[in-house]
Structure formats: structure tokens, C-alpha cells
Amino acid sequence: MRALILGGTADANSLAAAIARAGIDAVYSYGGRTATPAEQPLPTRIGGFGGVNGLADYLRREAITHLIDATHPFAAEMSRNAIAACAQTATPLLALERAPWEKTPGDRWIEVADVVSAVTALPETSANVFLAIGRQHLAPFGTRPQHAYTLRFVDPPEQALPWPDAEIIVSRGPFTLEGELAMMRARAIEWIVARNSGGGGARAKIDAARALGLPVIMITRPHLPDRPRVERVSDVMEWLGHRTCLGA
């Protein structure tokens, strides 16, 4: 057995720890978006494979017997490539993907399908906006320079932002409700733009928005072809033939 974890998420990191503890031969793959990726207890590789064929070649060359797609729910290209490469090489595939957040009473969500629709859902009049989305998705917001944007990234952005001035917070998270409430109050945030990532670490901003009665423009997840999917690390371990008693 030799597993490949497509990682870059907290869930992938928990899985890597469980796989290392179980002594399973495995490789952890990062996309290379972060300058300082978290260290893993497994051999790590960084960077793209070169599309579907590149990944299929890698699976054959490295004699991968199990592929776990634990990428972020919005990393759709990698997930589509994994489905196609596993079909091409007859490699068993399992996705480890947290459930999306569900709207609860008090939430003021405007659900939109993509970033461009999120831009048009913003008001015309100037507002303080917390843009809680990846830095590769900022360009479309350049058409709305009237807003005062607050942004938060794991690394400081290398490229120029599409507005003359914006507040940048550099932090890896996870974030607490108290911390998010304090940040939103200090910056007098009026609107939040977020992606429905799911999970606990990013949820605090959604809970804070509800507590403050703020509208959230919520970008729904990209559509993926059907694939076997679980939400817990222990389910992946069982799929790999190892039982855990972690309740993870």
C-alpha cells in the first residue's frame, strides 16, 4: 500500500498525522500556493503534477495504490484532475471533504454561484467590506473601488491589489468568535464576502456576522462529478484498512 494525500487543508494535516501514526507508506502533496507550508510527518512534495496526464504518470511511477483528495472544497481543478487520473489508472480515490455550512436562523446570507456574482451582489454605495476569499480571486472586485476592503491572507500578497488602498491582515487562523467580533467592530465591517468552505476553523466569521446582524455574500461550492466522499479522518483510515479510536 502507498497512499497519496492531496493536501493543503487542516483536514489533510490531521489525516497525515493519523497515517504517520499508523505507519502507512504515504506522500503528502502541496499545491505550492503558500510560502511557508506546515511541516508534515510524511514525505512531502510541492507543486502541480502537470494536469490529468501528469498526475496519472505520477500515480503509476510512484506505485500509488490509494489517492485521498483532501484539498479545499474550492480547489476544484485539482479534484477534477484526481477523478480523471484515478479513472485512467484504476486507482481507488476517496475525497475527505467537510460538509458545507448550513444557514441557521439569524443568518443573512445572499448565496451566489461564483466570485463575479459576489461582486454584483455588493451594494453600489460605499461600504466597509470584509473580503474573506483567496487572493487569486480579488481581480473582479476591482470594478467596485468605492468600497473599503479588509482582507486576510496566510502570506502577505506579492502582487498589487486591484484598489488603491485596502487593510490587509496576515494570519493563518484558526479564528475565534471573540476575535472575529473584535475585528469586525474595530473596522466597522458592514458586508462580508465568504466562500462556503465548511469546517470549524473558518466558521467564526460567519457566527460573528450573525451575531452582528451583518449580511454575508456566500459563494457556494463549485460543482464536482460524483466521487466517494467522507467527512472524517477515521473514515479514511477505515478505507485504508486501519481502525482508529480517535473519533476524528
Residue closer to ligand NAP by CB (options 122, 202) is 202
State in angstroms the smallest separation of the CB of 117 from ligand NAP: 17
State in angstroms the smallest separation of the CB of 25 from ligand NAP: 18
* Near ligand NAP by CB under 6 A: residue from 2, 53, 54, 182: 54
* Near ligand NAP by CB under 6 A: residue from 26, 30, 40, 214: 30
State in angstroms the smallest separation of the CB of 164 from ligand NAP: 25
Asked whether 58 and 36 are in contact (CB, 8 A), the reply is no
Task: For Cα atoms 199, 14, 178, give the angle at the middle one, nearest 5 degrees.
Answer: 40
**CA dist., res. 154 & res. 115, Å (int):** 20
* Near ligand NAP by CB under 6 A: residue from 2, 39, 50, 241: 50
Residue closer to ligand NAP by CB (options 76, 127) is 76
Residue closer to ligand NAP by CB (options 47, 228) is 47
Residue 29 as a binder of ligand NAP (CB under 6 A): the answer is yes
* Near ligand NAP by CB under 6 A: residue from 11, 18, 31, 210: 31
Residues that bind ligand NAP (rule: CB under 6 A) add up to a total of: 23
57 contact partners, CB below 8 Å, separation of at least 6? 49, 50
13 contact partners, CB below 8 Å, separation of at least 6? 7, 38, 40
Cell of 208: 460573528
Give the footprint of ligand NAP on residues 110-169 (CB under 6 A).
134
Residue 13: closest CA among 152, 21, 151, 119 = 21
DSSP for residue 160:
P
For residue 218, which phi and psi values (nearest 5 degrees)? Answer: -105, 115
56 contact partners, CB below 8 Å, separation of at least 6? 84, 85, 88, 89
Beta bridge partner(s), residue 44: 28
Select from 16-24, 71-79, 177-185, 235-243 the region that touches ligand NAP (CB under 6 A).
71-79
CA distances from 33 to 65, 155, 164 (A): 26, 9, 24
| Pairing label, strands 191-195, 167-170 | unpaired
* Near ligand NAP by CB under 6 A: residue from 10, 19, 55, 240: 55
Residue 8 as a binder of ligand NAP (CB under 6 A): the answer is yes
Select from 5-13, 180-188, 199-207, 210-218 the region that touches ligand NAP (CB under 6 A).
5-13
* Near ligand NAP by CB under 6 A: residue from 33, 187, 203, 227: 33
Residue type at 119? V
State in angstroms the smallest separation of the CB of 6 from ligand NAP: 4
Beta bridge partner(s), residue 107: none
Enumerate binding residues for ligand NAP (CB under 6 A).
Answer: 6-9, 29-31, 33, 48-51, 54-55, 71-72, 74-78, 81, 134
